Structure 1
Amino acid sequence: MLKSDLRKQALKQRRELDDQTFSQLNNLLLKQFKTLNFSTVKSIHVFLPILENNEPNTFLIIDWLQAQYPAIKIVVPKADFATSLMSSYLFAGKADLQNNRYQIPEPQKAILFDGVPDMVLVPLLAFDKKGYRVGYGKGFYDRFLQNIETQKIGLSLFEVIDEINDVHLNDIRLDKCITPNGIVKFDAV
């Protein structure tokens, strides 16, 4: 399928989730996330969800990481829509967050993180068996991940699809994708 069709389909699927199903799927995502190996992880970049759009609730992951791995630095993004680039900030708590014009929570007074996170949780609407993903189409994460060595892990409320037909040269492949039913690993190309 084409990205535009997959995007429409995934957004429709998300809108149709009732509160109970959405909560169950997020709890299953967290359960799968807990099985990852954190022994060498010093920092994790976590996207912040637009909960009104039924995006995976990464606040559950942040809360769990803070309780279980307090030494791991949690890094969150702030987007510059003029340049389509993102900056990373140390997570300073939910009170520091304010929704931007697209309803994405962003840090306000947090400290800039200038390192490379050991793991990046990547937002997506759909993903295929090769590790390619469909996002909202602005390319923020493809640019962000372009020149860094890190674990790239998608979070999806839905299962893998066969193939995205219009993958571009600049599309960055995931290493893994967590779904409510398991973790899909992708072979190196």
Structure 2
Amino acid sequence: MSPSKSELRAIFRKKRTDLSRNDIEVLSQQINLQVQVFCKQHPELSHFHIFLPIERLREVNTHYIMEYLFSEGKNIYASRINRETDEMETILLEPSMSFKLDDFGIPIPQSSQIADDELLQVVFVPLLAVDLKGNRIGYGKGYYDRFLAKIDPDVLKIGLSFFEPVKEIPEEDFDIKCDYCITPNNIINFSH
């Protein structure tokens, strides 16, 4: 029998905790190299939504990806949580922006401009684990599930993971699958 979502969440939180700070930086740089390969394969893509890494959760350091995308002249967006609606709002990022950490340790731009979700072509999705069909496990708060449900279904959803996919994650009706997952060694296309 496959592990439950909560069991998988615990397993992958532990796997992340076992990574050293140096491991995280090296693996994040390798993921960035795979993102560069992906972008070269898809030159038509120019509007990328990225998550800003939460250090205490030991997330992929996406600053490497942002630097690359800015150097290629791409438009980059992120989200902030609207505390009144508890929903993610899309904001435009600029190369020179400075960030401060909010109460949850999430980097927030000092100044930001709300952007239209309709511009997005790619969303890089944070996750703890992904399976061979593109099902993902996040942190259990549902922010990304709600965000992905409200944007155009044709937007590419790309998970970023330090680890290769597991065989199976239990599916729920509200889950939205990734189209791809980029790991340090692979670009996995789930639509084949």
The alignment's TM-score, normalised by the length of structure 1, stands at: 0.91
More moved, 53-62 vs 82-91: 82-91
Q: Which moved more, 1:12-21 or 1:81-90?
A: 81-90
Residue 11 (structure 1) aligns with: 13
The answer to whether 1:181 aligns with 2:185 is yes
- Give matches, 1:36-115, under 5 Å: 36=38, 37-67=41-71, 69-70=72-73, 72-93=74-95, 95-115=97-117
> Corresponding residue for 1:125?
128
Structure 2 distance, partners of 1:124, 1:89, is: 21
Contact 1:84 1:138 in 2 (8 A): no
Pairwise CA distance, 1:81: 4.5
Q: Which moved more, 1:26-35 or 1:91-100?
A: 91-100
Deviates more, 1:35-44 or 1:171-180: 35-44
Question: Shift in Å at residue 93 of structure 1?
Answer: 4.3
* Matching residue within 159, 165, 170 for 1:160: 165
Q: Structure 2: which 5+ runs fail to align?
A: none
Change (3 A) 1:138 1:170: same
CA distance in 1, matches of 2:104, 2:13: 15
Contact kept in structure 2, 1:96 and 1:110, CA below 8 Å: no
How many residues in Structure 1 have an aligned counterpart in Structure 2?
185
Take 1:81 and 1:142, find their aligned partners in 2: how far apart are those partners? Answer: 17
**Superposition deviation, residue 34 in structure 1:** 0.7
Superposed, 1:23-38 pairs within 5 Å as 23-36=25-38, 37-38=41-42
Report the Cα distance in structure 1 between the residues aligned to 2:163 and 2:84, rounded to whole angstroms: 31
- The 1-side partners of 2:21 and 2:132 are apart by 29
Shift in Å, 1:41: 1.4
CA distance in 1, matches of 2:177, 2:25: 28
Q: CA-atom RMSD, angstroms?
A: 1.6
**Structure 1: gaps (5+ residues):** none
Output the TM-score relative to the length of structure 2.
Answer: 0.90
Partner of 2:175: 171
